[in-house]
Chain A
Amino acid sequence: MYRYDEFDAAFVAERTSQFADQVRRRLSGELNEDQFRPLRLMNGLYLQLHAYMLRVAVPYGTLSSRQMRRLADIARKYDRGYGHFTTRQNIQFNWPKLKDIPEILSDLASVEMHAIQTSGNCIRNITTDQFAGAAADEIVDPRPVAEILRQWSSLHPEFSYLPRKFKIAMSGSRHDRAAIRFHDIGLQAAVNAAGEVGWEVWIGGGLGRTPMIGKLINSFVPNVHLLAYLESIMRVYNRYGRRDNKYKARIKILVHEEGLETIKGQVEAEFAEVRGGVLTLPQAELDRIGIYFSPPDFDLVPSTKLDVAREKILNPAYGRWLENNLHPHRHPGYASVTISLKPIGGAPGDATAEQMEVVADLAERYSFSELRVTHEQNLVLPHVDVRELLPVFEALSAAGLAEGNIGEITDMIACPGMDYCALATARSIPIAQAISHKFASPERQNEVGDLKIKISGCINACGHHHVGHIGILGVEKKGGELYQITVGGDATENASVGHILGPGFVAEAVPDAIDRLVDAYLAHRQGADETFISAFRRLGDAPFKEALYGAA
């Protein structure tokens, strides 16, 4: 894992000290709220519905066991003993007190973490595939480049006051597990005709009130020019992005209004100016950073075949977990284990301090002290020897973390919604919990197979509802909550935005509505191999609309 150099350590320490002084001045009355608010937001401190919320960056979704242990410690010492992992691979604490923030930031800095650029109109935490550095299908580990982008974008003086926030996601694999086509910039690893590895660059994707699928602006940018190319995009956006209307300020609107070819021309003109200059990334520097991400010292594991079918008979919960929660590893004899933060009836993405410590212990014992956070609000032990899966499962079971539901209907994304969020117009977590209870049976989940439900409590779409196979959007209507249901969204390389099928539902009716959609899928699918999204693409809206609203 990357370790801070002197510059990183110094700037985080300076910023921590600076904000501690700003908090002191706010509490003493030297600063008023109008002066303090932008300062606290620059340090990830929001005021939410019930209390302050501190959003801590998890750079490219990678955590060490030591960092996870410190997050657990912060949760217990300064919060209510839990944290919430988000769709941007960050963690949020929902109940901190203002006077404790300097100490929290100091504790974070001691493990090379911070909350800088987790708010505001700047380049936010860069996210990646959660199996980065481990996946069997990976072209390249995206994290060395992600780290270089982190260094480039941190406190970048030119891009600290952009028209709007800016999000970058990267995938080192052809299979997009980071939703890169729904980010301001998506970087997809690519190989050119000469066999060199570089990046496809996608721009103008996003969710929110105007969902857009990113557009390919360049099919191959080599590492050496990547910073210059991204800087060129940022300059065009910073220059021409709208500042008169926050709802039209994201780059997706600029690309949509001006057209890809116009933007591409502007980017290329800028790139011609900066290419080969100070932003040139020497291979030696990439190699130097790459050393921090060198693969761990894997054992030579004898060929081990997992007999999942047998395990499902002997220990159904373990068998189900093996079937759903493992991901193929690039090193023989290892697997990546996804730890579900979606127990039946739980709040998606929440983990207690005790659970975080169990996960840190397991990372130390079984995964070279490495962890990942997924944008689907789960955790990952990236490198587990397959001969040690049973003790890992048993330890997770004892901690309430062994739900074998990854990719299934109860593995939902849900934003905090109106139970926590000041912007929300409806609740999300109770909807997720009700659906989770409705589909609690492992047999039912297994029968349904791969189905992603994503729930947002407002049009800002933090719960990614537009790209759920089934999406649920909570809105306010006549003082109450109403939930619109969409079908057909997909956040992967086969990106699509879901369709609204008809009028919304009151909260109590949502689980039954989802059940009817699932029944329609099961009735119409061509076999168990045809997933929900495949069936939807073949069948179109009609059978699902009928399931929700009856025959026309």
Chain B
Amino acid sequence: MAEILTGNELTSGATVYLDVHGNWVEDQQAARLFEKEDAPARDEAIALSKKTQRIISIDTEKVSVVDGRIVPERLRERIRAVGPTAPASPDGENWDRQHLGEDGHVSI
């Protein structure tokens, strides 16, 4: 099972993922996959990300790739990627996830 790196961007708190270009982005499907043998690269990415001081609560998440899509093992992570699942009001609209602000783009 592969892993992805996730965290929250400092200013907005938005959920972000490290992509293959070293950018922290909103799209979980763009996340870089770290296989078991990529552990050194993963650890280096974590260290560099911490050094930016702009990504907090950095963690690894176990994922599978199903039909070309990244599927986190935990429901919690599936919810983090899209926002609350409960309708915000009796009218049935859901809240969108938090988005990065203009100053929220972080790279390593």
**Which residues of A line the B interface, CB within 8 A?**
26-27, 29, 32-33, 47-52, 80, 82, 95, 97-99, 343-347, 350, 352, 400, 417-420, 424-425, 427, 429-430, 433, 476, 479-481
Contacts and interface: CB of A to CB of B under 8 A. Distances in A.
Contacts of B12: 51, 97-98
25 contacts: A27-B11, A32-B53, A47-B13, A47-B57, A49-B15, A50-B14, A50-B15, A50-B84, A51-B13, A51-B14, A80-B95, A97-B13, A98-B10, A345-B87, A345-B90, A346-B89, A346-B90, A347-B89, A420-B84, A427-B79, A427-B86, A429-B84, A429-B86, A476-B74, A479-B73
B88 A430 contact: no
Contacts of A51: 8, 12-14, 98
Nearest to B51: A32
A507 to B, nearest CB: 11
A344 B11 contact: no
B69 to A, nearest CB: 17
Given A95-B98, A97-B12, A98-B13, A50 B80 contact: yes
Interface in B2-17: 8, 10-15
Contact of A433 (B14, B76, B87, B95): B87
A27 B11 CA distance: 8
Contacts of B53: 29, 32-33
Contacts of A346: 89-90
Interface of B: 8, 10-15, 53, 56-57, 73-76, 79-80, 83-90, 92, 95, 97-98, 101
Contact of A345 (B11, B74, B83, B92): B92
Give the most central of B53, B74, B83: most A CB within 10 Å: B53
A17 to B, nearest CB: 21
A420 B84 CA distance: 7
A138 to B, nearest CB: 35
A97 B11 contact: yes
A417 B84 CA distance: 10
B99 to A, nearest CB: 10
Contact of A347 (B15, B83, B88): B88
A29 to B, nearest CB: 5
A344 B79 CA distance: 24
A49 B75 contact: no
Given A47-B13, A52-B13, A343-B90, A97 B101 contact: yes
A359 B32 CA distance: 49
Nearest to B55: A33
B13 A430 contact: no
A50 B98 contact: yes
A493 to B, nearest CB: 33
B54 to A, nearest CB: 9
Contact of A49 (B73, B80, B86, B88): B80
A52 B95 CA distance: 15
Contacts of B97: 50
B10 to A, nearest CB: 6
Contacts of B80: 49-50
A346 B85 CA distance: 13
Contact of B85 (A27, A97, A345, A427): A427
Contacts of B73: 479
Contacts of B74: 476, 479
Contacts of B79: 49, 418-419, 427
Given A98-B10, A476-B75, 12 more contacts: A26-B10, A50-B14, A51-B13, A51-B14, A98-B13, A344-B90, A345-B90, A418-B75, A418-B76, A420-B84, A429-B84, A479-B73
A233 B36 CA distance: 52
A51 B79 CA distance: 13
B14 A49 contact: no
A33 B53 CA distance: 7
B105 to A, nearest CB: 15
A481 B12 CA distance: 29
Contacts of B98: 50-51, 95
A114 to B, nearest CB: 21
A430 B15 contact: no
Contacts of A480: 75
B10 A27 contact: yes
Nearest to A82: B88
A49 B86 CA distance: 14
Given A33-B53, A95-B98, A50 B76 contact: no
A320 B62 CA distance: 51
B103 to A, nearest CB: 8
B11 A98 contact: yes
Contacts of A419: 79, 84-86
A325 B39 CA distance: 59
A80 B83 CA distance: 13
Contacts of B11: 27, 97-99
Most-contacted residue by chain B among A47, A49, A433, A481 (CB, 10 A): A49
Contact of A33 (B56, B76, B89, B95): B56
Contacts of A481: 75
